[in-house]
Amino acid sequence: MTSDDAEPTVPTPRDPATPEPTRIIPTEAPAAAEPTADGPPLSALVPPAAGSGSMPMPPPGSDASYRQNGGRSVTQRSFGRPAAEEPNFRPVYQGQAWPTQRPGYQPTYTPPPPIDWHQQQARAYTPAPPPKTNRVVAIAAAVALVIGVIAGAGAAVTVVSLNGNTSPVAEQPTPPVGTGADPKIRTGSVSAVASTLLPSVVQLRVEGADDSNATGSGFVIDNVGHILTNNHVVAAAAKGGSIQVVAEGGKPATARLVGRSPAYDLAIVQVAGLKAPSVQFGRSDLAIVGQDVVAIGSPLGLAGTVTSGIISAKNRPVTTSGEPADPESFINALQTDAAINPGNSGGPLVDMNARVIGVNSAIATVRGSQEGQSGNIGLGFAIPIDQARRTAQQLIANGQASYPVIGAQVDMQFEGGARVSKVDVGSPAARAGLRVGDVITSINNQAVDTAEALIVAIRTHQPGESVKLAYERGGRERQATVALASQIG
């Protein structure tokens, strides 16, 4: 389709609220329009000159035009009346500005509004922000008010003075450093246990007659200066030598050896006039695996050392090497992961109520480690306080202690039970019918898988008690009841 065939496009009347699109003014002069009968030629591009119409427009605010035309407005005259009755009326075409006559006070050309006309109008109705200085003052005043409530009038004055006030402000006094209130010790905490037990724990320094020496720990058990410790700590002074006891914050004091039990690895020494509180005993049979415990002692000569951990296991059969003249010690021990090192021996293992439930006695070492290089690897062992208390009472009363026996020996190399290697004539074992070669598999329904397990299980009882043994002979299971005898050691 060509331009000659196309129908003329009728532009849509523009909404007065919509900004007029940008107009392009041609650089070449437009073609002359044909003159009209009423005046100079009209053009859609060039507006007519002011006053060229036959009826000049009345000044603004006048209603003369309305009264001359019978009270009808110009707009009313523009529609529904023939042109012959109104010779000065000229029809207009859509798109042409109305009216064609322009008042003398209106410019001949009105430039289009800028592209950002709407933005300018929006900004024109946006209230201006308050002065910056007022905002700063308001913020400073608000901060001063908050700080003044928290810290007092001195802090508030300091903040306000930053708002341009250069007058000096008196410096407020500050609290002295390092003189605050003492922290509260929570009941049942390690610190509470330590503060309770440390005055009762002592360090032992032992020198033997043969120039041997040892260090260890102990704790006061009564108000006359009796101290419970391990036998292997004081064994060097059993045949001469000296034992020095150092209490918390005190001077070394000489102690005497009251008694010792190599079988249980326990000993009692006494310091006359010792000014130290005694401990409180707990019950080791009520201890449970996983409960928190604290170990106190003098590892490696460091007195008053506190470590913490848990009960890792119960009824661990532990054998400690004795002195050449002493038999081995067999302990039905409490196992703990609280750090225990050489020098902790004889110190207390306590629960979180500051009650002693064990006597730290031994540690496991890595096989092949040289002497003097062993240390804590998380496997420490303590003598249950139930047994230690009975033995301590015997040592204080008699200077020696007894332990139960069945009157038979077992093979220490055999595994899978305790195999009897010797039965003493007239012993409780002989009276119960035990023979060499019998393999004991349980005691009081407690399984026995090694010789050590049988020995420590027997030593948890007292002489005179009866125990029930299950054993195998020739592939057949048998049972026997044995009354325990007593032996000093």
Q: Report the range out of 40-44, 58-62, 208-212, 395-399 with the highest average pLDDT.
A: 395-399
Q: How many CA atoms lie within 13 A of 95 on its CB side?
A: 8
Closest to 201 in 3D by CA, of 234, 246, 268, 235? 246
**424 flagged as catalytic:** no
Centroid of chain to Cα 477: 56
Report the pLDDT value the prediction gives residue 353, as an integer from 0 to 100: 94
200, 226, 261, 265: the catalytic one is 265
Residue 256 pLDDT: 94
Question: Per residue in 313-357, pLDDT tens?
Answer: 999 988 876 555 566 788 899 999 999 999 999 999 999 999 999
Please say if the pLDDT value at position 365 is more than 50. yes
345 is catalytic: yes
Distance CA 144, CA 138 (A): 10
pLDDT at residue 44 tops 60: no
Nearest to residue 482, comparing CAs of 446, 430, 442?
Answer: 430
Residue pair 485/428 in contact (Cβ under 8 Å)? The answer is yes
Higher pLDDT among residues 328 and 290, named by residue: 290
Question: Out of 200, 226, 232, 326, which one is annotated catalytic?
Answer: 232
Give the pLDDT score at 173.
Answer: 61
Per-residue 3-state assignment (H helix, E strand, C coil) for the chain? CCCCCCCCCCCCCCCCCCCCCCCCCCCCCCCCCCCCCCCCCCCCCCCCCCCCCCCCCCCCCCCHHHHHCCCCCHHHHCCCCCCCCCCCCCCCCCCCCCCCCCCCCCCCCCCCCCCCHHHHHHHHCCCCCCCHHHHHHHHHHHHHHHHHHHHCHHHHHHHHCCCCCCCCCCCCCCCCCCCCCCCCCCCCCHHHHHHHHHHHEEEEEEEECCCCEEEEEEEECCCCCEEEECHHHHHHHCCCEEEEEECCCCCCEEEEEEEEECCCCEEEEECCCCCCCCCEECCHHHCCCCCEEEEEECHHHCCCEEEEEEEEEEEEEEEECCCCCCCCEEEEEEEECCCCCCCCCCCEEECCCCEEEEEEEEECCCCCCCCCCCCCCCCEEEEEHHHHHHHHHHHHHHCCCEEEECCEEECCCCECCEEEEEECCCCHHHHCCCCCCCEEEEECCEECCEHHHHHHHHCCCCCCCEEEEEEEECCEEEEEEEECEEEEC
Instruction: Give me the catalytic one of 284, 345, 361, 402.
Output: 345
Cis peptide leading into 99, omega within 30 of 0?
A: yes
Q: What is the predicted pLDDT for the residue at 320? A: 75
pLDDT tens per residue, range 117-149: 666 665 655 556 655 545 544 555 554 444 444
Superfamily of 402-488 according to CATH: PDZ domain (2.30.42.10)
232 carries an active-site annotation = yes
Is the distance from CB of 381 to CB of 333 less than 8 angstroms?
Answer: yes
Say which residue, 217 or 63, is predicted with more confidence.
217
Q: Note the pLDDT tens digit of each residue in 99-116.
A: 545 555 555 556 666 666
pLDDT in tens, 147-178: 444 444 433 333 334 444 545 445 556 555 55
C-alpha span between 290 and 247 (Å, rounded): 31
Whether residue 67 has pLDDT greater than 60: no
Residue with tokens 């009472």: 393
Q: What is the mean pLDDT of the chain?
A: 75
Could you check whether 200-270 and 402-488 share the same CATH topology? no
How far is the C-alpha of 229 from the C-alpha of 238, rounded, in Å? 14
pTM: 0.62
Which of 54-68, 276-290, 320-334, 411-425 has the lowest average pLDDT?
A: 54-68
Look up the CATH superfamily of 200-270. Answer: Trypsin-like serine proteases (2.40.10.10)
**Residue 94 predicted with pLDDT over 60:** no
Give the pLDDT of residue 6.
44
Give the separation between CA 438 and CA 451, rounded to whole angstroms: 12
Please give the pLDDT value at position 209. 84
Give residue limits of the domains in the chain. Answer: 1-113, 127-166, 200-270, 280-365+374-398, 402-488
What's the confidence (pLDDT) of residue 467?
Answer: 94
* The most confident of 8-12, 53-57, 231-235, by mean pLDDT: 231-235
- In CATH terms, is domain 280-365+374-398 a member of 2.40.10.10? yes
